[in-house]
Structure 1
Amino acid sequence: MSSVPANASVMDSIYRHQRHIYDLTRRYYLLGRNDLIAALRPPAGGTVLEIGCGTARNLVLTAKRYPDARLFGIDISAEMLKSATATVSNNRVDRRVSLAQGDATRFDAAELFGIARFDRVFFSYSLSMIPGWEAALHQAIRCVAPGGELHVVDFGQQTALPRWFGKGLKAWLARFHVTPRENLGDAMAAIAKTTHGELHFSTLYRDYARIGHIRLPSA
């Protein structure tokens, strides 16, 4: 179940060199990531899983903001995980952060980390790069503990921005296999309904980005 599919090679080819400048360049247009981290608020001693952790930038900031939380991250790209491992070590949070390679649509958290469910699970600009993004959402909600939350931030549809801007952004993102998910809100609403969860969903920066979370009922 945790075997890595062929499209891992696609991500490795994209990030083999980009991973070295990823955080420096993405800080200017991956907006809302810090908003998501601030909203996590895991319980004392809680567990947090990031799906598509990339360079581990978010995991390190989460570890520093919530010093008693235990952090976990998966990514399909072995190249990105090289940077993630270095980032975690350089920031001296390697004792609290565990990393593993896995497919977002069908990973086995218990096999990878010895933990099946987490207090918080999140995607930060990774759903727009996952071909089976809806399957990834369903897989993620299965990893959320009772009373826990699934958080997402990703590109919006730029509905309140000039048309040329949205068109140009999407064309540029497509060069990196990034596709903003127009139906993200609907997909999260459907999951919230089937799990009896509570959904909070909104746009950021004139719909440049969309952010939301589902809180599951307690057991």
Structure 2
Amino acid sequence: MFAKIEHGRLMDRVYRHQRHFYDATRKYYLLGRDPMLAGLNPPERGSVLEIGCGTGRNLVLAGRAYPKTSLYGIDISNEMLATARKKIAASGLGDRAVLAYADAAKFEPEAILGRREFDRIFISYAVSMIPQWQAVMREAVNHLTPGGTLHVVDFGDLRDLPGFARRGLYKWLAWYHVTPRNDLFEVADEIARTTDAEVETHRLYRGFAWISVLRRRP
């Protein structure tokens, strides 16, 4: 409980002011988000959950792309949730969206969101900020419908970028409590083996962004 509260307070401190200009700045380097959203392809009246929904930017785009889906989002920052609620209401999607405060590593979606499983779950540039990110991915797979998919997009290993660019970006990200998960694909493989899921991976932009997709078997 202590770790959960402290991480939530840290995220509130980080984003208390940043949330007002977050989307305007992040579009230049949070690459891969839109290809990830395009690959969701939920059932026509399916359910979509974002873990670490932040400002609500991704949920709004998902709601527009998939107009008959039900939208759900959780975040550990009340500051970000306040912005997300305003953004979703302004977009006209409020009647299709449910947001809640939660620790993604262990939460009860039926209690806070009104449903136990989701057709699609996605995590966009959040595993690099969640200390127990592996547990979060495992927990997410447990809340997929049969045949449902978990989509994770985040920073990659930057392997094909010049060394100075890689070192500079890692140092800059550390200032914002961001730690790229260079073992993301290996962890996804291990989760797939232990949860009877299938996995696919994508490297984008010379390794700047990675997308991992875990599909629960029907």
Assess same fold via TM > 0.5: yes
Aligned-partner residue type, residue 122 of structure 1: F
> Unaligned regions of 5+ residues in structure 2, if any?
none
Give the alignment's Cα RMSD to 1 decimal: 1.2
> Unaligned regions of 5+ residues in structure 1, if any?
none
2:99 matched residue in structure 1: 99
TM-score of the pair, normalised by structure 1: 0.97
Deviations 1:41-92 (A, max 9, x none): 0001100000000000000000000000001000000000010001001101
1:5 paired with 2:5, answer yes
Q: Distance in 2 between the 1:4 and 1:212 partners?
A: 25
2:123 matched residue in structure 1: 123
1:67 paired with 2:67, answer yes
Aligned-partner residue type, residue 118 of structure 1: F
Deviations 1:69-123 (A, max 9, x none): 0010000000000100010011010011110001111111111111011000110
Deviates more, 1:197-206 or 1:4-13: 4-13
2:156 matched residue in structure 1: 156
Deviation at 1:4, TM superposition (A): 5.3
TM-score of the pair, normalised by structure 2: 0.97
Aligned residues, how many? 217
Q: Distance in 2 between the 1:144 and 1:102 partners?
A: 17
Q: Distance in 2 between the 1:132 and 1:194 partners?
A: 18
1:51 matched residue in structure 2: 51
2:79 matched residue in structure 1: 79
Aligned-partner residue type, residue 89 of structure 2: S
Contact 1:60-1:88 within 8 A present in 2 as well: yes
Deviation at 1:201, TM superposition (A): 0.3
Match runs of 1:187-202 below 5 Å: 187-202=187-202
Structure 1 segments (4+ residues) deviating >4 Å: none
Identity over aligned pairs, percent: 47
1:135 matched residue in structure 2: 135
Aligned-partner residue type, residue 211 of structure 2: I
1:110 matched residue in structure 2: 110
Contact 1:4-1:101 within 8 A present in 2 as well: no
Structure 1 SS opposite 2:6: coil
Aligned-partner residue type, residue 7 of structure 1: H
